[in-house]
Structure 1
């Protein structure tokens, strides 16, 4: 019989947790392990092998123990020493059932932990794969950052896990090393936010690579952290206990060390999303992937240091959901495409099939199994909402481009290309094809 406990989770996009530490090691004599990652929606997606099963996880510097939350019917994994627990995450929902497992083998290349604790969330509605466009099975972080000096190169999409005993700091041009405070298995940095209507405000921010957003600030008027007058309500993210809403705006900038980012995107989450946290203590907010990806970084938890260097993303403008549409994968669908010209000859650019081809009809029409992309949410008052788009609409094409040929994040980019852009969206609703047109508007008027 499973023993029941109660555990409280807290995180930005998913959750941090606190339990006894285990240990990762490299083979004797090895200085480091290099790992390639995918950067999707500002999140670091890494390959992980758990008890012999190959999975993919989000690397989150704000989470303590690994959390497994998305296993499909085809996935099979053995976990050890299981007890039942109840967990509470960010969002407005109720606590949920989960499993606590000890003594699992985690492998990231040659980096191995032979006694890793793991949590398994049983709610099948928690599925971040649909919004990222690839299978993602869980989230992990603190144990790796604790046991290695972790170098994250957002530019080359590579992580290097350095043996702390063999790592040497070097004087490198255009880098800066600043304090990193590790408290309760979470890392914090000091920064200064440049508010529009108040003086510059010093802040303590959670460093959260598991958040796809740029900057979250808590509404603390007594500290000078007031929501700017020009703002709008938005869905900020998804937690284990539900959606997280708040006010989105922009501030004059943020300064981290000697680096300054102007016109910074900011969100002020509603406090009810943090009911799983006992206390926010002296924390003023969080810094996430959309801001962090502008640097290549070296995390040194053992010495309490983080080294920053600007990369090619530094001057990129912050991205807003100008259209007001959220998308997600919704399983698969068949599409029929003509692959022959008027004379019945197969066109040269149709020789290679896209997707999982099932049927070829008279060598002229191809049926392909492709991802179905649906509207999962629409912001009230947005251009998409005013044009008449609805939640549940199936997206077929954007500006004449059939979406099944593109990744989910590429489709979102098409929908939010630039202010003033006219967008044409072909959708399917109740077996009818409908075309909607709208213009992307500025989120905030110039001051």
Structure 2
């Protein structure tokens, strides 16, 4: 399934102090464990317990600190102890957001336990990833988890295995590629080759499992990192500091040792959105979820190593949103659902009746009100097929191709916009209480 773009989250936390930090320890004799994760928009969503409260976190190699947010109804239960105030700045053009630093929290992931986990708690109602992913998200964890284990990521089966390093044994694997990692501010970087205008260019990329795009490159004319003439400006996603925009195009190839991916989607974010990300001068961009998901991944921070093996997603075509619509699961709506039933009667009570032996079968139709998610257009690419058809930001999608929108998840609904060029899209929307119909065809810009 094609995935809607969701931005990687690369955090820079001020002040950048080194504080005492607990470690995760696996509470079993095997010293290893396995958990399942949800794969939504190429992001891994894992179950995490914080101070005994079950939550959902994004597992993100691109963050050095554990961030907690969207906890307004859980604050008392979580027993979060407020400490010093700090400011967090991430991708996007907005201002930094304020947070509180909390120590001595108990965090559990499967059978892994940390009794002295530091958390950075963000109390900002606008920082809510649930509308963009369609499920509640309460936080992000990265380095604090990966530093203590050898982590195997099975994207194809949506499972995660983690092992205490001294217990993990590497198997012989002729079909694997192993690459050394560099670390900067507790974040892993990999050097790969990209082919632009027939020229192979080595680039240093942040490994960012918290980004759902394929590849981001920072423009650098001296290195030859510039978008081709065949590009278009698009919304790239959200960061902690706001929306991110940039140019989308394609690369001829991306090579990780002997693994070569062709016709790879790439985005060049605007400079205003990546000022903090470019503080690491040697960094040329990010390698994100739509690349990583094509491999079985082993991450070994202790040995500064990543090991890759192709999986069933490796040859999946790189696609992108051809409609110009970005959706959000924004609020709810009441839907009247038809409920047809049949019942046996001995007497005709005036309904439509069919004889069946000595009994009568009465067919009745009634309706029940149900609460369903509301899918709202929150971004509309300029001069896109959807915009030219007359759709507007704020429109609520009621039907797509004659199917009720509530039958789909946010990801399934967005999948329609990643189809083939020429695919016809019919939308019924609600706009300020008025029901309107629109139709357009998907257009390829690359």
TM-score, reference length from structure 2: 0.90
8 Å Cα contact 1:344/1:364 also seen in 2 = no
Structure-2 change in CA distance of 1:310 and 1:278 (3 Å): closer
Structure 1 segment 232-243 matched on structure 2, within 5 A: 232-243=232-243
- Is 2:49 aligned against 1:53? no
Residue 400 of structure 1 aligns with which residue? Answer: 402
Q: Displacement, 1:415?
A: 2.8
Residue 4 of structure 1 corresponds to none
Q: CA deviation at 1:178?
A: 1.4
Write the distance in 2 (CA, Å) between the matches of 1:372 and 1:13.
26
Equivalent residue, structure 2, for 1:424: 426
Distance 2:27 2:71 in 1: 30
Deviation of 1:198 (Å): 4.7
2-side partners of 1:150 and 1:308: how far apart?
Answer: 12
Q: CA offsets per residue over residues 242-297 of structure 1, 9 Å max, x none?
A: 11111111110100111011000000011111233572311111000011101110
Maintained 8 Å contact 1:63/1:140? yes
Of the structure 1 ranges 99-108 and 29-38, higher mean CA displacement relative to structure 2 is found in 29-38
Confirm or deny: 8 A CA contact 1:81 1:103 kept in the other structure.
no
For 2:190, the equivalent position in structure 1 comes to 189
- Report if aligned partners of 1:16, 1:65 keep a CA contact under 8 Å in 2: no
Gaps of 5+ in 1: 1-10, 346-361
The alignment partner of 2:135 has SS state of: coil
> 2:132 aligns to what SS in structure 1?
helix
Report the counterpart of residue 378 of structure 1 in structure 2.
380
User: Using the alignment, how far apart are the partners of 2:199 and 2:278 within structure 1?
Assistant: 30
1:412 maps to 2:445: no
After superposition, the C-alpha distances for 1:360-415 in whole angstroms (9 at most, x for unaligned) are xx961111111111111110011111111100001011111111011100000023
Q: Specify the SS of the correspondent of 2:84.
A: strand
Aligned-residue offset at 1:74: 5.9
Give the count of matched residue pairs. Answer: 417
Residues 32-41 or 416-425, more deviating: 416-425
Q: In 2, distance between residues paired with 1:36 and 1:426? A: 37
Question: Is the 8 Å Cα contact of residues 236 and 269 (structure 2) preserved in structure 1?
Answer: yes
- Cα deviation, residue 13, structure 1: 2.5
- Residue equivalent to 2:299: 299
5+ residue gaps, structure 2: 1-6, 343-350, 354-363
Write out per-residue CA displacement over residues 49-77 of structure 1, whole angstroms, 9 at most, x where no aligned residue.
Answer: 00111110000001011101212436642
Tell me how far apart the structure 2 counterparts of residues 443 and 203 of structure 1 sit (CA, whole Å): 26
Task: Return the alpha-carbon distance in structure 1 between the equivalents of residues 202 and 277 of structure 2.
Answer: 23
2:141 is matched with which residue? 140
Are the aligned partners of 1:216 and 1:287 in contact in 2 as well (CA < 8 Å)? yes
Residue 31 of structure 1 deviates from its aligned partner by 2.7
